[in-house]
Amino acid sequence: MKLILQPQDGLTPLLLAIKRARKTIDIVIFRFDRVELEKALEQAVGRGVTVRALVAHTNRGGEKRLRKLEMAFLQAGVMVCRTADDLTRYHGKMILVDGTLYVLGFNFTELDINRSRSFGLITRDAKIVEAAAALFQADATRQPYSPTHDHLVVSPESTRKLLSDYIKGAKKELLIYDDRISDQAMLRLLQDRAAAGVSIRVMGKLAKNVDGIPTARLAKLRMHVRAIVRDRKAVFVGSQSAARPERKMVRPKAKRNGAPPAELPVTSTRARLRSVNMRPPADDDVAIVKQGDVGRQWRVSAAGDDKCHVARGH
C-alpha cells in the first residue's frame, strides 16, 4: 500500500500509472480540468488500452465542463458512461489500472492537486481491487450494488456501519481531517470516545463544540480530503464527509487500512472524518478501511438520463 500526498506528489503518480497501463483503465470522475491527464488517457487508447470513464451526471457549477469532457473522450475512443441520478451526488474519485486501485480524496483538478492538502491510497490487494471493479461495473451499468469487502467503504451502502465500527475501535487517538462534521450520530460517537479517554483532534471544524475535541484550520493550504488516523496504526481515506446530507445521499468511496505512523501527516492535528454519521453521503463515495495496508475506493452514481449510455468513440 502506498500513500499519495498533495500538493507534494502532484499528478506524477497517476500519469505514471496511466502511461504504464497495458490492458485496462477505469476512471471515476466528479471534477476534471487537467489537460495532461486527459492526453495521457487518450494516448493509452492509442496504445490499445481499454479506457472506460464513469462521469458524474452533475456537479455544482461544472456540468457543462463534464459534458464537454465526455465528448472529447468519445472522440478519442474512450468508453464513456454517465452515472445515474438516483443519488444527490456521485462524489467518488477512483482509478483502476491493470489490477491496481487508486482511491483519491482529491478531484482531477489544478485546485485540488496543486493548492490543497489531500491524500490518495494505492493498493494491489486483489480482493479490494476486485470489489472496486465490481462497484465500477455496477455503477457504469446502473445495476444494484452490494458491498463485498469490509475494507472498502461505499456510500450509502456500508459507510455508517463501517465508519462507526472503525471509530469505536479507537483505543488511544483519532486524528481527523474533515471540513465540517455535522452528523449528529457521528458527533455523539466522537463525544463518547473522548469521554472514554481517546485523544481526538480535528483538522477542520465541528458543527457544535464538543468538550475535549480541539479543532484547527490549515494555515496556508485549502483542505480537500476526508481522513481518519486511528491509534497511528490504521487510516481511513475517502470522500465521505461527516456532514449530515452526505452520509445519506452521496456515493463516496474510501479505504481504511493499517499504516505506519510515518505514512500520513498525523502532525496536522486531525485526520479527516468523512460524513461519519454513517448516513449515506450525498455523493457516491467509497472508502477503503483495512488493518495492515492502506488503500481506498469510492463509488459514484448519478446521471441525467434514464439509461447510462456507454458509447465508444471512433
Paired sense of beta strands 252-258 and 285-289, if any: parallel
**Do 184 and 127 fall within a single domain?**
no
Q: Indicate whether 311 belongs to any domain.
A: no
Q: How many domains does the chain have?
A: 2
Taking a C-beta distance cutoff of 8 angstroms, is the pair 249, 235 a contact? no
Q: Concatenate the DSSP letters of all residues of 52-109 into one string.
A: EEEE-S--TT-HHHHHHHHHHHHHHT-EEEEPPSSSSB----EEEETTEEEEESS-BS
The pLDDT of residue 89 is above 90:
no
State the Cα–Cα distance between residues 287 and 294, nearest whole angstrom.
11
Tally DSSP H helices, then E strands, for the chain: 8, 16
Q: Which amino acid is at 34?
A: R
Paired sense of beta strands 116-123 and 2-6, if any: antiparallel
CATH number at residue 191: 3.30.870
| Whole-number pLDDT of residue 63 | 83
Query: Among 118, 140, 162, where does a domain finish?
Result: 140
**Do 51 and 122 fall within a single domain?**
yes
Per-residue model confidence as pLDDT tens digits over 35-60: 999 999 999 999 999 999 999 887 88
**Do 250 and 285 fall within a single domain?**
yes
Higher pLDDT, 270 or 258: 258
| Whole-number pLDDT of residue 311 | 40
| Whole-number pLDDT of residue 313 | 34
**Do 6 and 135 fall within a single domain?**
yes
Q: Indicate whether 8 belongs to any domain.
A: yes
Closest listed residue to residue 255, CA positions, set 212, 208, 292:
292
Average pLDDT, the chain: 79
Per-residue model confidence as pLDDT tens digits over 233-244: 999 998 876 665
Phi, psi angle pair for 300, to nearest 5°? -135, 135
Closest listed residue to residue 104, CA positions, set 91, 114, 87:
91
Virtual torsion, Cα 222, 224, 226, 229, nearest 10 deg = -50
The pLDDT of residue 275 is above 80:
no
Question: Cα 223 to the chain's mean position, in Å?
Answer: 14
| Whole-number pLDDT of residue 156 | 81
The pLDDT of residue 286 is above 80:
no
| Whole-number pLDDT of residue 235 | 93
The pLDDT of residue 282 is above 70:
no
**Do 35 and 135 fall within a single domain?**
yes
Q: Indicate whether 61 belongs to any domain.
A: yes
**Do 127 and 157 fall within a single domain?**
no
Cell numbers 488511544 label which residue?
172
What would the mean pLDDT of 83-105 be, rounded to a whole number? 88
Higher pLDDT, 293 or 175: 175
Give start and end residues of each alpha helix (H) in the chain.
12-20, 35-46, 63-76, 110-114, 126-140, 159-168, 184-195, 244-249
CATH number at residue 15: 3.30.870.10
| Whole-number pLDDT of residue 294 | 30
Q: Indicate whether 308 belongs to any domain.
A: no
Query: Among 114, 140, 166, where does a domain finish?
Result: 140
**Do 52 and 113 fall within a single domain?**
yes
State the Cα–Cα distance between residues 195 and 113, nearest whole angstrom.
37
Confidence grade of residue 257 (pLDDT, cut at 50, 70, 90)? low
**Do 94 and 119 fall within a single domain?**
yes
Per-residue model confidence as pLDDT tens digits over 67-78: 999 999 999 999
Q: Indicate whether 310 belongs to any domain.
A: no
Whether the upstream peptide bond of residue 147 has omega within 30° of 0, thus cis, is: no
**Do 7 and 70 fall within a single domain?**
yes
The pLDDT of residue 276 is above 80:
no
**Do 125 and 157 fall within a single domain?**
no
Domain that holds residue 37: 2-140
**Do 177 and 118 fall within a single domain?**
no
What would the mean pLDDT of 2-28 be, rounded to a whole number? 97
Q: Indicate whether 39 belongs to any domain.
A: yes
State the Cα–Cα distance between residues 122 and 268, nearest whole angstrom.
22
What would the mean pLDDT of 149-161 be, rounded to a whole number? 86
**Do 188 and 276 fall within a single domain?**
yes
State the Cα–Cα distance between residues 305 and 166, nearest whole angstrom.
36
Q: Indicate whether 122 belongs to any domain.
A: yes
| Whole-number pLDDT of residue 210 | 87
| Whole-number pLDDT of residue 154 | 87
Q: Indicate whether 64 belongs to any domain.
A: yes
The pLDDT of residue 208 is above 90:
no
